[in-house]
Amino acid sequence: MTARILIVAGSDSGGGAGIQADIKTATMLGAHAMTAITAVTAQNTMGVAAVHPVPTEMVIEQIDCVIRDIGVDAVKIGMIGSAKTAVALAARLAEMPGLPIVFDPVMVATSGATLADDATIAAFERLMRVATVTTPNLPELKALSGMSVLDKAAQREAAQSLVQRRGRALLVKGGHAKGRQVTDRLFQPAEPGVTPEMEWSDPRIDGDATHGTGCTLSTAIACELARDWSLPEAVARARRFVRIAMQDAVPLGRGHGPMAQQSVRLDLNASRWAPMLNHISVPARDLPASEHFYRLLGLRQIVRAEDRYARFESEGGATLSLEAEEALPAPVVFLECGDLDLMVAYLKAQGLTFAQAPHDEQWGWREARLTDPADNIVCLYQAGEMRRFPPWRLRDA
């Protein structure tokens, strides 16, 4: 069934963050977005010009109205608008135990504009107590904990104190830290079978398309939790969505521009059980001639490795690889899985035989191979951003 995501957040007139980013993210992840707008803002890529909070009674009425009719599978909370709304929202959500809730404690816009006053920030504690996970960046972690976040040890201490006091998970976003690597850390309450601390680290993406990263991440996590992915799985998948949306963004405006959620089409399979056809590899006797042919067809070349390999991207996001014929004697169909290892285990239980068990390739894909009844090669795999945006992607692609 389609996941029903209730988004409680403010509107961004520039379309880069807030409700607009949330709806784009939920839509691209195959979910149905419902909204309870907490504030109307006048803003663009340069900053926030004005904020008009929506009355608390209207926020709650929006929530009750959609839940009565449509129902809800997960909630994402962004900009609140007022302390009164934060308290009322926490009380309303406390009536729905077990519902996945992702709280992005928005305090300051990417441009630097303040989006929550001291009273509202103080009221965030109530929301943190009902949220499945809260997703602060480093300045927000400092404000919520009242502790230093100058280094990794201090950040861990601040995060652990919040987890212990609230009894809920915390995802600390590391984008504000210095360095070429961006590390996000998930802290969870100590429970049987739960890893109390996990982290993900990836190269920093250069560029100004950073408006709405927190909104997009938290909404993507909510979408994945609604589909019963575990919290660590949901975080990992949401991070891939954010990175691809940042990498494919085109410059818009004169400041921190919007991301490209609309371009994350065939990059993140939502299902554990239904592989997605998004890539094919074919042999090439004369690689330069084949490259020229596919460029003429209108495909965009994104990878070239000497005279043995090339990769192209189509308008819809699918990719095509060319490999020297001696390395690839026949075409290979690639089906990307939401959970490769689980899919392979299931297929083996159904009697299928694999020529190659799941393993990590040096180019960043995890692959397993088998053949169909006609001996055509089929590759089940996971690649994420490495399919379209590997580090060696052509700069002029």
From 212, 257, 338, 384, active-site residue:
212
Q: Give 323's contacts (C-beta < 8 A, 6+ positions apart).
A: 281, 282, 283, 284, 308, 309
Task: Please give the Cα distance from 285 to 152 (Å, whole number).
Answer: 52
Half-sphere exposure of 373 (CA within 13 A, CB side): 0
Q: In what order do the strands lie in the sheet with 169-172?
A: 48-53, 32-43, 4-12, 74-77, 101-103, 133-134, 169-172, 181-187, 197-203
From 210, 216, 219, 319, active-site residue:
210
From 215, 223, 337, 379, active-site residue:
215
From 15, 214, 257, 384, active-site residue:
214
> In this structure, are residues 226 and 3 in contact, taking their beta carbons and an 8 Å threshold?
yes
From 38, 173, 174, 223, active-site residue:
173
CA distances, 204 to each of 174, 210, 278 (Å): 10, 11, 26
Q: Give 352's contacts (C-beta < 8 A, 6+ positions apart).
A: 370
Specify whether 213 is catalytic: yes
Specify whether 173 is catalytic: yes
| Residue 295: closest CA among 283, 306, 287 | 287
Specify whether 215 is catalytic: yes
Q: Residue holding tokens 């209730």?
A: 6
Specify whether 379 is catalytic: no
Specify whether 223 is catalytic: no
Give CA 11 to chain center in angstroms.
20
> In this structure, are residues 134 and 107 in contact, taking their beta carbons and an 8 Å threshold?
no
From 25, 134, 213, 319, active-site residue:
213
Specify whether 212 is catalytic: yes
Catalytic residue positions? 173, 210, 212-215
